[in-house]
Chains A and B, each alone.
Chain A
Amino acid sequence: MVLYFKYLLISFKSQMQYRASFWLLALAQFFIPFSVFAGLYFLFERFGQLKGWKFFEVALCFGIIHMAVSVSECFARGFDAFSTLVVSGDFDRLLVRPRGTVIQVLGSRFDFSRVGRLMQSVIVLGWSLSNLTVEWTAWKIVILLLMITSGALIFTGIFILGATLCFWTIQGLELVNVFTDGGREMAQYPLHIYPKWVSRFFTFVIPFGCVNYLPLLYILDKTDGPAGLYALLPVAGAFFLVPCLWVWRIGVRHYRSTGS
């Protein structure tokens, strides 16, 4: 853990060396989801509602998932860019060090310019919360925070799976984007608007539904049935990371160096 924070600090210092470039990049990162959000806003302006969901409810959905993405893209960037380590053969160096591979890959890269993206989602989240009439309890706030952390963990899990594929394919695959970018694009709307097979896949296989749609039903008091169950789902979603780490260990065992 101490090691991780050292990695974090060093990376932060090095990125801060190019301050103007950093802030410009962060500003650009702010605008990318902003244009998507603008699209969502205009659609609601034209159509009024989305299968019973109002604008600010969907905006909350959007804010939560984008927050989760930006957090995981900042801190799990090492796994996202893992193919470069494999292609160059630098992964060998990690293997001879007396530390775990996961922590070293995590520490190999951070992308702090995602703070721009994070700011955008924080603003959306704040705006939607101030316009929703939700009876807030301490429990609900805990769940909201849990949703964001578990969401970030799921995205990290997908990054790890994508990185594991590199052990066999060497090059990174664009196909992984289906689950990261595609998952984000999809989960920013409530899951019930999709056909059954889609929403089932993204609840039980890749549990976006567990960290976003289902607990949101609880927060917005839309549940029928045992409400407590909905509230506990984000924790279940976080368990997605376990099989991912397990697959990663199998991958590491199959690693063959590309040489230098």
Chain B
Amino acid sequence: MKAYWSVLKLRLLHGMQYRTAALAGVATQFFFGFIFIMIFEAFYSHAVEKPPMSLKELVSYIWLQQAFLVFIALWIRDNELFQLITTGNVAYELCRPCGFYEFWYAKLLAQRLSGALLRCFPILIVAFILPHPYRMTLPPSPAGFTLFLLALVLGLLLLVAISMLIYISVFVTMSPTGSLLIFVVIGEFFAGKIIPIPLMPTWLQTVASALPFRWTADFPFRVYSGHIPADEALLGLFAQLGWLIVIVWLGKVALGKALRRVIIQGG
């Protein structure tokens, strides 16, 4: 456990070095946040019936989405790991005296965590002092906020477990593009990246709740604004935990299978 912990810490420090790049990213995410809010505001201004999510809840949702984009985005990937697999250098990784899955999991977790730590604070601070319609609101209760933090952490763990599946699949396909990109697009759509889950039609919401993706980002963001009440949120935490166990187990089984047949490419 200690080994994975230090991998996590080292990678975290490594990721924190790219501060200027993060700043440019913050500016981009601000712009996108504004555009999305403006579009939704325009839709909301002439809504015939009351939408299932108030504009206030939606604004918080969007800013959280922008602040924690690295917690949703499946397309962020570590090309280093892909290269390890395709060049055959993965042999070194197999020699290490620690679990393969855990080792990579710690690496990927650190990458996302450092990205979020650098980006989320400037975005959130400014989002709280913006003028009305764009201002982000505080969560309704301290209890709700605690639930949000728990849900966010579990969501992150779940997302990393899902992204592990992508890396494992490269052992079989040897090419990280194409088919994976489609998986990424579908995953992000059902995580509420394009439109929040409550605004989707009912049949699509049923599909979304059958998939693990909405538990990564959509769920914590709605817990924050109180759109999902506390008692329901508590149940949701267990659902997250359940999915996490299933996907980690799935990943380990798939990795075991892939490693048994692994062919080291190149020499």
Interface residues on B, range: 20 to 34
Q: 3 tightest CB-CB pairs across the interface, nearest first?
A: A24-B178, A28-B181, A39-B194
Question: In this assembly, does A31 line the interface, its C-beta being within 8 Å of a C-beta of chain B?
Answer: yes
A42 and B181 contacting across the interface, CB-CB below 8 Å:
no
CA distance A194 to B186 in the complex (A): 29
Interface of B is mostly: helix
Question: In this assembly, does A195 line the interface, its C-beta being within 8 Å of a C-beta of chain B?
Answer: yes
A45 and B201 contacting across the interface, CB-CB below 8 Å:
yes
A47 and B48 contacting across the interface, CB-CB below 8 Å:
yes
Interface string of B1-41 (1 = CB under 8 A from A): 00000000000000000000100110110011001001100
B38 and A198 contacting across the interface, CB-CB below 8 Å:
yes
B27 and A38 contacting across the interface, CB-CB below 8 Å:
no
Question: In this assembly, does A88 line the interface, its C-beta being within 8 Å of a C-beta of chain B?
Answer: no
A47 proximity list for chain B (CB < 8 A): 43-44, 46-48, 51
CA distance A195 to B133 in the complex (A): 12
**Whose C-beta in chain A lies nearest to the C-beta of B42?**
A193
CA distance A174 to B204 in the complex (A): 33
A43 and B188 contacting across the interface, CB-CB below 8 Å:
no
Question: In this assembly, does B179 line the interface, its C-beta being within 8 Å of a C-beta of chain A?
Answer: yes
A36 and B194 contacting across the interface, CB-CB below 8 Å:
yes
B79 proximity list for chain A (CB < 8 A): none
CA distance A34 to B185 in the complex (A): 9
A43 and B195 contacting across the interface, CB-CB below 8 Å:
yes
B46 and A46 contacting across the interface, CB-CB below 8 Å:
no
Interface of A is mostly: helix
Contacts beyond the supplied A28-B178, A42-B201, A189-B39: 12 A-B pairs with Cβ under 8 Å: A24-B178, A24-B179, A31-B182, A38-B194, A46-B51, A47-B48, A49-B46, A50-B42, A173-B24, A182-B28, A182-B35, A185-B32
Question: Which residues of A are at the interface with B, using a C-beta cutoff of 8 A?
Answer: 21, 24-25, 27-28, 31-32, 34-36, 38-39, 42-43, 45-51, 173-175, 177-178, 182, 185-186, 189, 193-195, 198
CA distance A185 to B36 in the complex (A): 9
Question: Which residues of B are at the interface with A, using a C-beta cutoff of 8 A?
Answer: 21, 24-25, 27-28, 31-32, 35, 38-39, 42-48, 51, 175, 177-179, 181-182, 185-186, 188-189, 194-195, 199-201, 204
**Whose C-beta in chain A lies nearest to the C-beta of B25?**
A174
A193 and B177 contacting across the interface, CB-CB below 8 Å:
no
A43 and B199 contacting across the interface, CB-CB below 8 Å:
yes
Contact of A35 among B31, B175, B188 (CB under 8 A): B188
CA distance A75 to B34 in the complex (A): 30
B178 CB to closest chain A CB (Å) equals 3
B201 and A21 contacting across the interface, CB-CB below 8 Å:
no
B38 and A195 contacting across the interface, CB-CB below 8 Å:
yes
